[in-house]
Structure 1
């Protein structure tokens, strides 16, 4: 279904040798099916329709992130609200899209933050702690009885090599998965025994 050259995106179009499951000539009136010129003329349409039939027959595969063509994976990401990172490999992109619904359900929770960072950074160990504080008011729009410490999330990311982690990507991901009203801070450290500096 897709023409794949190394380093170039896939393209859909004519597929040499692909037979149409519904040749146009069989749909002609009986009198025209005996006309050799007419049969050869309409067979040209079969070459154009065959990829359409093949696509429709395997349409479910286009909506499965594990089976979809690479260029269609980007479209799936937009549908499930995932912003793809250029640094992610195709298997990582597919895994993140497949797990998007679960991650969206857990977004803003400690488990959701850990899952999003672990998935995006690969084999990292992620620890998240929160201040446990909150602000409240007896009246809508009234003064809050603030805790001594405002709500905050502290994230510790342990990886094999901290120098390979792009902190801008970590910051962008934390902005996306942490509650908007909660401040966050993070540190990237080396795994114990992995030779990384903490």
Structure 2
């Protein structure tokens, strides 16, 4: 916490006797105080538990996702940003995909995958494949949900999405 007149108190004694000079320095102090207060709170701007609500979609975009809907409830946006940050290091894996999809659907997700890793030229190896089963697409429509899955999976992985027992991808 800064005391009042923190900048003026740093002036040499002779300068504080001049009322005009003190008022002049106070102008700069007022401007600098706003910058310092912003700098003091910078760590809370990137913490999804306490960041201002308008920052949450912006934080999501830092994590590579521009689809966090600002009309969602505050708690849902915070949960999504926390899940996205937790999943970032696991991106492209079953675990990472499950973290993201469970945050959106708010329900368990079943992912079955072949687990195959292969060189592009390998013949005889099946292509990587994942089957994703969810109860709902959460707040995303089906097309956006499929696009999200496509973004989260490696490009070489073919996939199928079932919502409540109904296959929505491939159509």
Deviations 1:96-144 (A, max 9, x none): 32233431232233232222111022x23322222x274757xxx6551
Higher mean alpha-carbon deviation, 178-187 vs 45-54, is at 45-54
Among 124, 131, 144, which residue is 2:123 paired with?
Answer: 144
TM-score by length of 2: 0.75
- CA change 1:70–1:163 in 2 (3 A) is closer
Match of 1:25 in 2: 8
Distance of aligned partners of 1:61 and 1:120 in 2 relative to their CA distance in 1, 3 Å threshold: same
CA distance in 2, matches of 1:21, 1:98: 38
Greater CA deviation, 78-87 or 171-180? Answer: 78-87
* 2:100 corresponding residue in structure 1: 116
Residue 91 and residue 127 in structure 1: after superposition, are their counterparts in 2 closer, same or farther (change >3 A)?
Answer: same
Task: Note if 1:54 corresponds to 2:37.
Answer: yes
Structure 1 unaligned regions, length at least 5: 1-18, 191-198
Gaps of 5+ in 2: 166-171
Q: Is the 8 A contact 2:8 2:22 kept in 1?
A: yes
Distance 1:133 1:73 in 2: 34
Correspondence list, 1:119-130, <5 A: 119-121=103-105, 123-130=106-113
Inter-partner Cα distance in structure 2 for 1:58 and 1:136: 47
TM-score normalised by structure 1 residue count: 0.66
- C-alpha change, 1:22 and 1:188, in structure 2 (3 Å) is farther
SS at match of 1:125: coil
Q: Counterpart in 2 of 1:156? A: 133
Change (3 A) 1:163 1:52: closer
What is the Cα deviation at residue 165 of structure 1? 4.8
Aligned alpha-carbon RMSD (Å): 3.0
3-state secondary structure, aligned to 1:66 = coil
How far 1:75 sits from its partner (Å)? 4.1
8 Å CA contact retained: 1:77, 1:97: yes
The one of 164, 167, 173 aligned to 2:148: 173
CA–CA separation in structure 2 for the residues paired with 1:184 and 1:59:
41
